[in-house]
Protein backbone atom coordinates (compact mmCIF):
# COMPACT_ATOMS: atom_id res chain seq x y z
CA UNK A 1 0.00 0.00 0.00
CA UNK A 2 1.19 3.49 -0.81
CA UNK A 3 -0.28 6.91 -0.24
CA UNK A 4 -1.12 8.75 -3.48
CA UNK A 5 -3.09 12.01 -3.41
CA UNK A 6 -4.33 11.31 0.10
CA UNK A 7 -5.72 7.84 -0.65
CA UNK A 8 -4.19 4.41 -0.19
CA UNK A 9 -3.35 2.68 -3.48
CA UNK A 10 -2.13 -0.88 -4.00
CA UNK A 11 1.15 -0.88 -5.94
CA UNK A 12 2.54 -3.92 -7.73
CA UNK A 13 5.70 -4.30 -9.81
CA UNK A 14 3.98 -3.87 -13.18
CA UNK A 15 2.13 -0.68 -12.30
CA UNK A 16 5.20 0.76 -10.55
CA UNK A 17 7.44 0.02 -13.56
CA UNK A 18 4.92 1.54 -15.94
CA UNK A 19 4.60 4.71 -13.89
CA UNK A 20 8.33 5.29 -13.37
CA UNK A 21 9.13 4.53 -17.02
CA UNK A 22 6.62 7.10 -18.22
CA UNK A 23 7.85 9.73 -15.76
CA UNK A 24 11.53 9.05 -16.47
CA UNK A 25 10.91 9.09 -20.24
CA UNK A 26 9.39 12.56 -19.96
CA UNK A 27 12.66 13.73 -18.33
CA UNK A 28 14.93 11.93 -20.86
CA UNK A 29 15.91 9.54 -18.10
CA UNK A 30 15.38 6.28 -20.03
CA UNK A 31 17.78 4.56 -22.41
CA UNK A 32 16.27 2.04 -24.80
CA UNK A 33 17.64 -0.88 -26.73
CA UNK A 34 20.64 -3.14 -26.26
CA UNK A 35 23.41 -0.75 -27.24
CA UNK A 36 22.32 2.18 -25.05
CA UNK A 37 21.29 -0.08 -22.16
CA UNK A 38 24.62 -1.92 -22.22
CA UNK A 39 26.53 1.38 -22.14
CA UNK A 40 24.47 2.67 -19.20
CA UNK A 41 24.88 -0.60 -17.27
CA UNK A 42 28.64 -0.77 -17.92
CA UNK A 43 29.02 2.78 -16.63
CA UNK A 44 26.90 1.85 -13.58
CA UNK A 45 24.40 4.64 -14.36
CA UNK A 46 21.32 2.41 -14.29
CA UNK A 47 18.79 2.72 -11.48
CA UNK A 48 16.71 -0.24 -12.70
CA UNK A 49 16.66 -2.37 -15.84
CA UNK A 50 13.53 -3.72 -17.53
CA UNK A 51 13.83 -6.76 -19.79
CA UNK A 52 11.11 -8.37 -21.93
CA UNK A 53 10.38 -12.07 -21.35
CA UNK A 54 9.54 -12.58 -25.02
CA UNK A 55 13.00 -11.55 -26.21
CA UNK A 56 13.95 -14.23 -28.74
CA UNK A 57 17.72 -13.72 -28.65
CA UNK A 58 19.30 -15.77 -25.82
CA UNK A 59 22.63 -13.93 -26.07
CA UNK A 60 20.82 -10.61 -25.61
CA UNK A 61 19.16 -11.85 -22.42
CA UNK A 62 22.43 -13.30 -21.05
CA UNK A 63 24.29 -10.05 -21.72
CA UNK A 64 21.69 -7.88 -20.00
CA UNK A 65 21.48 -10.24 -17.00
CA UNK A 66 25.28 -10.32 -16.66
CA UNK A 67 25.62 -6.54 -16.91
CA UNK A 68 22.88 -6.07 -14.30
CA UNK A 69 24.60 -8.52 -11.96
CA UNK A 70 27.98 -6.86 -12.46
CA UNK A 71 26.69 -3.33 -11.89
CA UNK A 72 24.27 -4.45 -9.13
CA UNK A 73 21.34 -2.93 -11.01
CA UNK A 74 17.92 -4.39 -10.15
CA UNK A 75 16.45 -6.34 -13.08
CA UNK A 76 12.70 -6.47 -13.62
CA UNK A 77 10.93 -8.53 -16.25
CA UNK A 78 7.89 -7.58 -18.32
CA UNK A 79 5.89 -10.05 -20.44
CA UNK A 80 6.02 -8.33 -23.84
CA UNK A 81 8.51 -6.11 -25.62
CA UNK A 82 5.64 -4.14 -27.18
CA UNK A 83 4.54 -3.21 -23.66
CA UNK A 84 7.98 -1.77 -22.86
CA UNK A 85 7.95 0.11 -26.18
CA UNK A 86 4.61 1.69 -25.32
CA UNK A 87 5.69 2.63 -21.80
CA UNK A 88 8.90 4.35 -22.95
CA UNK A 89 7.11 6.33 -25.66
CA UNK A 90 8.04 4.40 -28.81
CA UNK A 91 4.55 4.80 -30.27
CA UNK A 92 1.99 7.26 -31.58
CA UNK A 93 -0.86 8.23 -29.27
CA UNK A 94 -4.24 8.80 -30.93
CA UNK A 95 -6.67 11.52 -29.90
CA UNK A 96 -8.59 8.85 -27.97
CA UNK A 97 -5.43 8.11 -25.94
CA UNK A 98 -4.74 4.72 -27.54
CA UNK A 99 -1.23 3.65 -28.55
CA UNK A 100 -0.74 2.95 -32.27
CA UNK A 101 2.33 1.89 -34.25
CA UNK A 102 4.13 0.60 -31.15
CA UNK A 103 7.80 -0.22 -31.73
CA UNK A 104 9.10 -3.24 -29.80
CA UNK A 105 11.75 -2.61 -27.14
CA UNK A 106 13.25 -5.62 -25.38
CA UNK A 107 15.31 -3.67 -22.86
CA UNK A 108 15.16 -0.27 -21.16
CA UNK A 109 17.23 1.19 -18.34
CA UNK A 110 16.24 4.12 -16.14
CA UNK A 111 19.24 6.40 -15.62
CA UNK A 112 17.32 9.35 -14.13
CA UNK A 113 14.07 8.96 -12.17
CA UNK A 114 12.85 12.43 -13.11
CA UNK A 115 10.62 13.08 -10.11
CA UNK A 116 10.11 11.46 -6.74
CA UNK A 117 7.02 9.26 -6.58
CA UNK A 118 5.41 6.52 -4.52
CA UNK A 119 6.13 4.04 -7.32
CA UNK A 120 9.84 4.96 -7.32
CA UNK A 121 10.02 4.44 -3.56
CA UNK A 122 8.21 1.11 -3.90
CA UNK A 123 10.66 -0.10 -6.57
CA UNK A 124 13.67 1.00 -4.53
CA UNK A 125 12.34 -0.83 -1.46
CA UNK A 126 11.56 -3.92 -3.55
CA UNK A 127 15.05 -3.90 -5.06
CA UNK A 128 16.61 -3.64 -1.58
CA UNK A 129 14.53 -6.55 -0.30
CA UNK A 130 15.57 -8.69 -3.29
CA UNK A 131 19.27 -7.96 -2.82
CA UNK A 132 19.22 -8.57 0.94
- Cα gap 50→35, rounded to integer Å: 14
What are the strands of the beta sheet with 75-78, ordered from one edge?
Answer: 30-32, 107-110, 48-52, 75-78
Residue 33 belongs to what domain range? 2-131
Looking up residue 77, the CATH number of its domain turns out to be 3.30.1330.30
Say how many domains are in the chain: 1
Q: In this predicted model, what pLDDT tens digit does every residue of 5-35 receive, in sequence order?
A: 444 567 778 888 888 888 888 888 889 888 8
pTM above 0.85, yes or no: no
Q: Cα–Cα distance between 91 and 68 in angstroms, integer?
A: 27
Q: How far apart are CA 68 and CA 48, in angstroms?
A: 9
What is the CA angle 103-66-124, rounded to 5? 75
pLDDT tens-digit profile of 50-105?
A: 998 888 888 888 988 999 989 888 888 888 888 888 888 777 777 787 777 878 88
Residue 83's closest CA among 117, 59, 53, 63?
A: 53
Amino acid sequence: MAEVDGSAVQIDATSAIQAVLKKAASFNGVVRGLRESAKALERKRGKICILADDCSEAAYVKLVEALCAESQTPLYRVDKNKTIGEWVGLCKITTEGEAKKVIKCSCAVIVDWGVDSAEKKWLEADAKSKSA
